[in-house]
Structure 1
């Protein structure tokens, strides 16, 4: 098993390996206990580094469990991935599509295994978390650096990679300077001790099925609650928008009523002016007739 990089503190890597191999729910308590023990032993810097180790996300924890329980299979897959990356450079379009399909089959199978192993720990991966697990496994097949992060078993958060961009190791690996370290393999737990027989109204299979139904129902409730919250939020936004639009309509109606009043007033003035114009025209006609008569009388006198 490859060791950590030279600048990685062996005691820190060993402590991290134990912590990230444990149950996700126990991580914080186990980490704090390990930090106190290191400090009590006189190594305060080590205690501080252990205390700073981040709790893994559920998807990261599932990957950490997978690489420890399926250590040999993960090694084989990563070695195969390296060969496939080298071969991809010489493949045509059809060959690349075949290669992509094979990668998807591998990651899907490993994701299914991760889900099964998580259930052994009493944890059920939601579809969203399973997608994150598959995304990390895909990244490991595409990017050798991502492969080293996954194989370390010290993953703290989900990530993805196209195989082109550089992965921020410090953001996704608990001990980034330990890149190249391979998590210690963990054997599958032995067969559980036979249970003490009791008179119960159901057998183990029916109980397990009932537990699965409860888990499914809990997930269903959570998903339904999430959808309800989303719809309620949308409804509240739409109601607020409706009130805003109604206010704008009311304002426009007030402005329209005012404009209609202005139109009525202008109409009245127009009617009055039209009457005045007609009267002025009549006066003009009388004046013109008077002028014509006066000129005629003047012409007679001049003769």
Structure 2
């Protein structure tokens, strides 16, 4: 595993991607200024991309609850090892269990994000679950997730077609494990002690506040965009189903009309059949009578 202590960029990236999503850009830019004496390092820091919301949620899960992530990755490894020896029924059962596990862990990840003040839409949750599924299906995806340096969500089919280019902050991330960072405990103030306040003016306070406000606005717009996208998709689905319902209702009405017409025709045919059967019976009687007369005439002729 790469050692972040021997790679200052990895160490910096590990700290940056552990920050709240809104703090990433101002913190990164501040680090660029801090390391401006090392032009190569400053350039590399500036190139670190902000994670998507889904990637940030997965990174948060990796740092807040590494044991649960390790469990997901261990189950994925076991499934990959056993896949060749499983029959179809066992594969279906393991696939079901895998989906249940990723859904459960996704719920836990959304809860962690909510505790950090980040609301996740269903679209983001789907991307988080897809990323966890990819980590179970593909060894490289597992390494990417464990790094805690994801910048985009992952998607894999288990057929070795995963493309990780641009999915992690650094190529060195694969094989690196993010440092666990439990949530900071909430301090309970001691009412018997009066805190000593020291006001230190920050010359960049206004700029930082504007940057933070811009970041929150951008995130709110992103959430709104996702919500509007989901709403449009749901509306289109409703419209399609309503149109299909009207079409089926029309076809059903037509079929009912045809059935009514067929039932009326059937009644007419039944009546005609009854009359035809009666006429056939009369004709049969007439034939029998005619045959009897023919036989009687033949007998009379023969007797002459």
State the TM-score bracket (shorter-chain normalisation). Answer: 0.5 to 0.7
Q: 1:107 aligns with which of 102, 113, 126?
A: 102
Q: 1:160 aligns with which of 155, 163, 176?
A: 155
Structure 2 segments unaligned to the other structure (5+ residues): 192-222, 237-304
Are residues 1:184 and 2:179 paired?
yes
The within-5 A match list for 1:261-272 is none
Are residues 1:3 and 2:8 paired?
no
C-alpha change, 1:32 and 1:85, in structure 2 (3 Å) is same
CA-CA distance at 1:172 after TM superposition: 0.3
1:132-167 CA-partner distances (Å, limit 9, x unpaired): 000000000000100000000000011201121343
CA-CA distance at 1:224 after TM superposition: 6.3
- In the alignment, the residues of structure 1 paired with residue 225 and residue 54 of structure 2 have an alpha-carbon distance, to the nearest angstrom, of 21
Residue number in structure 2 paired with 1:260:
none
- Cα contact 1:169–1:176 (8 A) shared by 2: no
- In the alignment, the residues of structure 2 paired with residue 228 and residue 144 of structure 1 have an alpha-carbon distance, to the nearest angstrom, of 36
The within-5 A match list for 1:45-84 is 45-84=40-79
- In the alignment, the residues of structure 2 paired with residue 180 and residue 132 of structure 1 have an alpha-carbon distance, to the nearest angstrom, of 22
Residue number in structure 1 paired with 2:170:
175
CA-CA distance at 1:226 after TM superposition: 6.7
Q: 1:31 aligns with which of 28, 32, 35?
A: 28
Residue number in structure 2 paired with 1:17:
14
- In the alignment, the residues of structure 1 paired with residue 187 and residue 151 of structure 2 have an alpha-carbon distance, to the nearest angstrom, of 30
C-alpha change, 1:230 and 1:166, in structure 2 (3 Å) is closer
- Cα contact 1:57–1:157 (8 A) shared by 2: yes
- Cα contact 1:4–1:180 (8 A) shared by 2: no
- In the alignment, the residues of structure 1 paired with residue 115 and residue 128 of structure 2 have an alpha-carbon distance, to the nearest angstrom, of 17
1:105-155 CA-partner distances (Å, limit 9, x unpaired): 110111011100001110111011000000000000000100000000000
Q: Pick the structure with greater CA Rg.
A: 1
- Cα contact 2:72–2:102 (8 A) shared by 1: no
Q: 2:132 aligns with which of 125, 128, 137?
A: 137
C-alpha change, 1:85 and 1:230, in structure 2 (3 Å) is closer
- In the alignment, the residues of structure 1 paired with residue 90 and residue 233 of structure 2 have an alpha-carbon distance, to the nearest angstrom, of 46
Aligned length: 206
Are residues 1:91 and 2:83 paired?
no
- In the alignment, the residues of structure 2 paired with residue 222 and residue 153 of structure 1 have an alpha-carbon distance, to the nearest angstrom, of 24
- Give the alignment's Cα RMSD to 1 decimal: 2.9
- Cα contact 2:121–2:226 (8 A) shared by 1: no
SS of the residue aligned with 1:76?
Answer: helix
- Kindly report structure 1 stretches of 4+ aligned residues shifted beyond 6 Å: 219-222, 228-232
CA-CA distance at 1:52 after TM superposition: 0.5
- Cα contact 2:18–2:60 (8 A) shared by 1: yes
Give the TM-score normalised by structure 2. Answer: 0.62
Structure 1 segments unaligned to the other structure (5+ residues): 197-218, 233-303
